[in-house]
Structure 1
Amino acid sequence: MKVGLTDGYRVRRVGADEAFRGIEPLAEVLLDCVEGGASVSFMWPLPRERAQGFWRGVAEGVARGERALLVAEDQGGEIVGTAQLILSQPDNQPHRADVAKMLVHRRARRRGLAQRLLSALEDEARREGKTVLVLDTVTGGDAERLYARGGWQRVGVIPNYALMPDGRPCATTYFHKPLAIQAS
Structure 2
Amino acid sequence: MTLPITDISILDDGRLRADLEALLEDAVNSGASLGYHAPLAPHWKQAFWDGVAGLLSVSAHRLLIACGPDGDLLGSVQLALCTKPNGAHRAEVQKLLVFTRHRRNGVARRLMAAVEDTARGLGRSLLVLDTLKGDSGEPFYEATGWQRAGMIPGYTVEADGALHDTVLFYKTL
Q: Give the equivalent residue in structure 2 for 1:173.
A: 167
Q: Which residue of 2 aligns with 1:159?
A: 153
Structure 2 counterparts to residues 60-75 of structure 1, below 5 A = 60-75=54-69
1:39 aligns with 2:33: yes
**Cα deviation digits, residues 37-96 of structure 1 (max 9, x gap):** 100111222212221221122122112101010011122211121100001432321111
- The corresponding residue for 1:20 is 12
The 8 Å contact of residues 34 and 165 in structure 1, kept in 2 or not, is answered as no
Could you say what the CA RMSD is over the residues aligned between the two structures, in angstroms? 1.5
Check 1:166–1:89 CA distance in 2 against 1; reply closer, same or farther (3 A cut).
farther
AA aligned to 1:145 is P
Structure 1 residue 131: Cα displacement: 0.7
Q: Which runs of 4+ in 1 moved over 4 A?
A: none
Unaligned runs of 5+ in 2: none
Structure 1: how far apart are the matches of 2:66 and 2:159?
24
Q: Paired residue for 2:81?
A: 87
The 1-side partners of 2:64 and 2:33 are apart by 20
> How far apart, CA to CA, are the structure 2 residues paired with 1:12 and 1:55?
17
| TM-score where L is the length of structure 1 | 0.87
Which amino acid is 2:8 matched to?
V
**Structure 1's 107 and 168: CA in aligned 2 closer, same or farther, altered over 3 A?**
farther
The one-letter code sitting in structure 2 at the alignment partner of 1:105 is: F
Q: What TM-score, normalized to structure 2?
A: 0.92
Q: What is the CA distance between 1:164 and its match in structure 2?
A: 3.6
Contact 2:74 2:107 in 1 (8 A): no
Q: How many residues align?
A: 171
Offset of 1:10 from its aligned partner? 2.9
1:147 partner amino acid: Y
CA distance in 2, matches of 1:36, 1:145: 18
Identity of aligned residues (%): 39
Distance in 2, matches of 1:20 and 1:147, equals: 31
For 2:51, give the aligned amino acid: G
